[in-house]
């Protein structure tokens, strides 16, 4: 029977960590992208815990850099604390300056796809969510780009078909199952995932007020 070799885009956050647990029997290769953000070391610390617990393939780190012209000081400044109650709400100003990176998912996926092709990995799993009700209720988070939508995955798969020597398919298992973050967390609990060993904030130390922190507080 065909058994694909798989990799998982892993950030140490809730969604991709649950993916690692769900697909542990396929011995996935976790891939993390280090683009110089201050939260990266924390993300790796979280991931290493799960990799050890699950006895899966070692973490593959892809190092890239984003241009100086990206206005994202919050992601790269240690001890950066958003000083407003709703730091990400003013999306055309603060959010952009603090953590939005133009083309982030597109660029990271392109690197990860190339890694998979070079290592004959057949499927690259991403933790994009199907239901976004929690986000929609919250703020304007998803309005900036569609770079974790089903259409985005389809387009990247078209590119993958023509741009690589080995065919790599991007899969978003939470789309396939029509899962929202609530469903993902429920599955994680069922699988015994230690959510204390996940990190969701954009900043270091954990700010407690960004969208990720608020959603985490509400749902976990
Ligand atoms: Zn935060």
Over residues 65-123, the pLDDT tens digits come to 988 787 677 788 888 876 655 545 554 454 555 677 888 999 999 999 999 999 999 99
CA quadruple 194, 169, 172, 91: dihedral sign: positive
- From the CA of 214, how far away is ligand 1's center (Å)? 7
- From the CA of 39, how far away is ligand 1's center (Å)? 11
The pLDDT of residue 144 is above 50 = yes
Domains of the chain: 6-68+104-202 (3.40.50.620)
pLDDT band at 136 (very low <50, low <70, confident <90, very high): low
Give 7's strand partners. Answer: 29, 124
pLDDT band at 188 (very low <50, low <70, confident <90, very high): very high
Residue 76: the pLDDT is 85
- From the CA of 148, how far away is ligand 1's center (Å)? 20
The pLDDT of residue 134 is above 90 = no
DSSP strand pairing (60-63 vs 29-34): parallel
- From the CA of 40, how far away is ligand 1's center (Å)? 14
- From the CA of 14, how far away is ligand 1's center (Å)? 14
- From the CA of 211, how far away is ligand 1's center (Å)? 7
Residue 84: the pLDDT is 55
Residue 199: the pLDDT is 97
Q: Torsion angle, CA of 91/93/99/102, rounded to 10 degrees? A: 90
- From the CA of 74, how far away is ligand 1's center (Å)? 11
User: What is the Cα–Cα distance from 202 to 37, expressed in whole angstroms?
Assistant: 9
Backbone angles phi, psi at 149, to 5 degrees: -90, 165
State the distance between the two ends of the chain, measured CA to CA, in whole angstroms.
38
75 vs 138, which has greater pLDDT? 75
- From the CA of 173, how far away is ligand 1's center (Å)? 26
Name which of 129, 102, 117 is nearest 160 in CA terms. Answer: 117
Residue 142: the pLDDT is 47
173 vs 66, which has greater pLDDT? 173
Residue 146: the pLDDT is 78
Q: What is the mean pLDDT of residues 171-180?
A: 93
Place of tokens 């398919």: 169
43 vs 135, which has greater pLDDT? 43
């Amino acid at each position: 029977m065909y058994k694909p070799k798989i990799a998982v885009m892993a950030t140490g956050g809730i969604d991709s960590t649950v993916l690692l647990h769900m697909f542990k029997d396929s011995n996935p290769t976790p891939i993390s992208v280090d683009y110089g953000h201050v939260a990266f070391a924390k993300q790796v610390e979280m991931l290493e815990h799960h990799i050890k617990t699950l006895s899966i393939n070692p973490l593959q780190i892809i190092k890239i850099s984003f241009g100086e012209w990206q206005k994202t000081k919050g992601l790269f400044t240690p001890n950066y604390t958003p000083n407003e109650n709703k730091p990400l709400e003013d999306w055309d100003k603060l959010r952009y300056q603090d953590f939005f990176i133009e083309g982030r998912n597109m660029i990271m996926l392109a690197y990860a796809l190339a890694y998979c092709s070079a290592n004959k990995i057949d499927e690259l799993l991403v933790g994009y969510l199907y239901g976004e009700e929690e986000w929609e209720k919250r703020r304007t988070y998803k309005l900036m780009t569609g770079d974790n939508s089903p259409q985005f995955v389809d387009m990247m798969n078209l590119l993958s078909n023509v741009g690589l020597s080995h065919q790599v398919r991007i899969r978003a298992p939470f789309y396939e199952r029509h899962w929202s973050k609530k469903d993902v967390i429920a599955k994680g609990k069922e699988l015994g995932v230690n959510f204390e060993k996940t990190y969701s904030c954009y900043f270091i130390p954990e700010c407690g007020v960004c969208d990720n922190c608020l959603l985490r507080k509400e749902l976990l």
